[in-house]
Amino acid sequence: MRKSYGNAYSRDYKLQCNERGLIAIVTYPDGRQRFFEYDKNGVCNKMIDVDLAVHTRLDARTWASTNGETWHGKIELAQINSDEGLPGTVLITKFDGAFVQSEAVCFPHGIWIESSYTRDRIEIKRDVQFLNGSSHRYSRHDRNSLWMANGDMVEMLPESPWAYALPWLCPAFMSAAVA
């Protein structure tokens, strides 16, 4: 029997592909879904989010959302049989000019991470939400600062949000999910 870490994540997610073999639906372990459409080149041009907000690509870097937001960035989805990462992982990157402003990484097993960056690409804020509803906010002032949570130093935090892709291989930091 696998350790569940308080249901912080689950491998019981589903990926459904369209007729071109591209992922069209990601069904998360809690039943929520994201839907994707692609242009003729296989690049995502529409995403219906778990809250039913529709994000539509207007041009190469501009997106409009039904919640009234227009933003510059990209939505990428790791496909099956690719080296882009865990299939079904959604990466939403928002730019401020040529600089990454924020990234949301949504892993299909239920861990979602949203990060904010300085103009020189230093991650200064990380929000981690687990499938069981627990969440944590970490922050630091600059690259040389320690990560803090609620005013306390964090003993162990993966340097990259991508370390959460395979939580069953990294049980040390997963213990935070049940805290």
156-178: pLDDT as tens digits? 677 777 777 777 666 555 555 54
Tell me, yes or no, whether 1 lies in a domain.
no
Indicate whether 53 pLDDT > 60. yes
Indicate whether 5 pLDDT > 50. no
pLDDT above 90: percentage of residues in the chain: 47
Tell me, yes or no, whether 160 lies in a domain.
yes
Tell me, yes or no, whether 6 lies in a domain.
no
pLDDT above 70: percentage of residues in the chain: 88
Instruction: Give the per-residue pLDDT at 33.
Output: 95
**99 falls in which pLDDT band (50, 70, 90)?**
confident
**2 falls in which pLDDT band (50, 70, 90)?**
very low
pLDDT, one tens digit per residue, over 11-22 is 889 999 999 999
Tell me, yes or no, whether 76 lies in a domain.
yes
Tell me, yes or no, whether 56 lies in a domain.
yes
What is the pTM for the complete model shown? 0.84
Looking at the structure of the chain, the number of domains it has is 1
- Look up the domain containing 44 and give its range: 14-178
Radius of gyration of the chain (CA): 17
Tell me, yes or no, whether 7 lies in a domain.
no
Tell me, yes or no, whether 141 lies in a domain.
yes
Following DSSP, what letter does each residue of 94-137 receive, concatenated? EEETTEEEEEEEE-TTS-EEEEEE-TTS-EEEEEEE-TTS-EEE
**144 falls in which pLDDT band (50, 70, 90)?**
confident
The arithmetic mean of pLDDT across residues 140-161, rounded, is 78
CATH code at position 32 = 3.90.930
Of the candidates 32, 31, 37, 2, the one whose C-alpha atom is nearest the C-alpha of residue 19 is: 37
How far apart CA 151 and CA 1 sit, in angstroms, is 37
Poorest-confidence range of 114-118, 129-133, 144-148, 172-176?
Answer: 172-176
Instruction: Give the per-residue pLDDT at 71.
Output: 92
Burial readout 112-136 (b: 16 or more C-beta within 10 A, e: otherwise): bbbbbbeeeeebbebbbbbbbebeb
Tell me, yes or no, whether 3 lies in a domain.
no
Residues 6+ apart with CB under 8 A from 43: 57
